Every structure is written in C-alpha cells, then in structure tokens.
Amino acid sequence: MKKLGLRLYAALTAALMAWGFYQAIYVAPDEQTMHEVQRIFYYHVPSAMTAFLFFAISLAGSIGFLALHRDHPLRAQVADAWAVAGAEVGVVFCTVVLITGPLWGRRAWGIWWTWDARLTTTLVLWLLYVSYLLLRRFAAGPQMQTLAAVLGVFAALDVPIVYMSTRWWRTQHPAPVFGGGPDSGIKDPAMLHAFGWNIAAWLAWGLLILALRYRIERQQQQLLAHQAQAALDEI
Amino acid sequence: MDQRAILDHQFTVAAYAITWAIQLGYLVWLGLKWRAQKRAVARPIRSPR
C-alpha cells in the first residue's frame, strides 16, 4: 500500500514536471525586453523558493535536535535526519539557482556575476550549507551532530537576509515576484500560470527527494546503532 | 532568427539542461547510496574491530 502510494506520488510528480515544462516553454509568452531568455525564470525562481523551504526544514530539525538530544535521544535522531536531509536537498536547489542565475544574467545584464547584495548573500548561503555538509561528512565523535545543529541554526539566519536583500540594499537583481512593491509581480496570466505550475512541480519533486534522503539518513543511523551495539556485545 | 535570438535560445536550453542534469544526477546518487545501504543492512553485523 505504501509502495503504491509512493509510485502514484512519483507519477504525479513526473506529470507535473512535464506539464510545468510545457507551460514554461510553449504556453507562456516571450517577455517584451528579455525575450526567450526570461524563460529561465520558470526554473530559477521556483528552485530558490524550494531551497528556502528546505533550509527552513533543516533549521527546524537542527533546533529540534538541540532541544531533544539530552532527554529524548531517539526523537533527536529523527530531528537530526530531517536537518541533514533539508540541508542537502536545499544545497542541490541552491546550486541550480546559482547556475541558472548567471546564465540569465549574462544575457540580461551582459555579465555573468556581480557582487550585488542578492547574489552575494545567496553565494554565502550556499557556502554555509556546504560547510554544514562537509562538517557532517568529515567530523567524527559524539559532538558532531551538536556542532552541525548549531551551524545549521546560524546558516539559516542568512535565508531572511537573502530574501530581504533586494529591499535593504540597491541591487541589480530584479524585485521579488511577490510582495516587492508596485512594480513587482507577474501581470500576464499565462506567465503566472506557467510560474505556478513550475512552483508546484519543483516542490513536488523536492519533497520526493527529501523523503528519500530522510529515509537514507534514518537507515544510516539505525545501521550505526546496530554496529555500536554489536561492538558492545563483543566486549 | 538573428544572432541575439539564437544566443537567447542556447542560454535557455543550457539553463534547463543543467537544472535537469543536477536534479537527476542527485537522484541517481541517492539511489546508489540507498542500494549500498540495503546491502550493508543485509550483511551480518560485525564490530568495527
């Protein structure tokens, strides 16, 4: 039953991805000033939104781990698995943002990169979460999860800074799509639909790989616990 | 199609293709990790010593 549900969800996600792609490439009209290259927007912005969501999940997991690890170690392991899964899948989406952005910028602005506040804070966000993952990969010992959780909390502080950067500083990056003032937003309904379908598609895809990454982490924790128990039994 | 439109098209295709390569590459990596872990679970547990 669980397998059937997973397969149905995967099929629905694949259908959403295909529909989102069709909407972005064939249905949405060309933007007046940037023309075809503006279609990168339909992958770039939903990827950024999904990355933010997963970094928020990672933050919740990190806080949960720090709150529970003394009194409820088993529940803390669940929180830690969500923290690492959210961080890793968030980094994947953030990587997409940092690659599609310069491709779009090269055609729209004539440059690959500028040390503008939005771009710089996004790069810092990516670096913070990559360092979080590297810490988890290479640090050993019982304190590793605690150190990672603390770093996870501090890394997440950059998310609101990235979001607010176009409001707080003068930037070359366009205003936010939602809530960015009178000039922001999508006026054309076909563009809005294409954008909405791609948000749904990338969110569904992200949740699928997040669930898979969480499952792998939980299995890894159980494997390590069994190995530790076997080592104790041999003493 | 003028030169500008051709370049716009190439950049758009590159952005979409790279996005898919990253996402599918990550999915394949997760699948390999999952399979390796299944095998590790199936093996009899031995202490690290």
Q: Which of B12, B37, B49 lies at the smallest CB-CB distance from A231?
A: B49
Give yes or no for residue B47 having a pLDDT over 80: no
Taking the Cβ of residue A104 and every Cβ of chain B, the question of whether any pair is shorter than 8 Å is answered with yes
Tens of pLDDT, residues A47-95: 999 999 999 999 999 999 999 999 998 999 999 999 999 999 999 999 9
Nearest in space to A104 (alpha carbons), one of A49, A191, A43, A164? A43
8 Å CB contact between A197 and A204: no
Residue B43, chain A, CB below 8 Å: the answer is no
Residues of chain B neighbouring A100 (CB-CB closer than 8 A) = 15, 18-19
Distance (Å) from the C-alpha of residue A183 to the closest C-alpha of chain B? 25
Residues of A whose CB is below 8 A from B48: 227, 231
Per-domain boundaries in chain A: 35-174+188-234
Residue A50 CA to residue A90 CA, distance in Å, equals 7
Q: Is the ipTM of this complex over 0.95?
A: no
Low-confidence ranges of chain A (pLDDT < 50): none
Helices (H), chain A: 2-22, 41-68, 73-108, 117-138, 144-156, 158-168, 189-234
Token pair belonging to A48: 């950024």
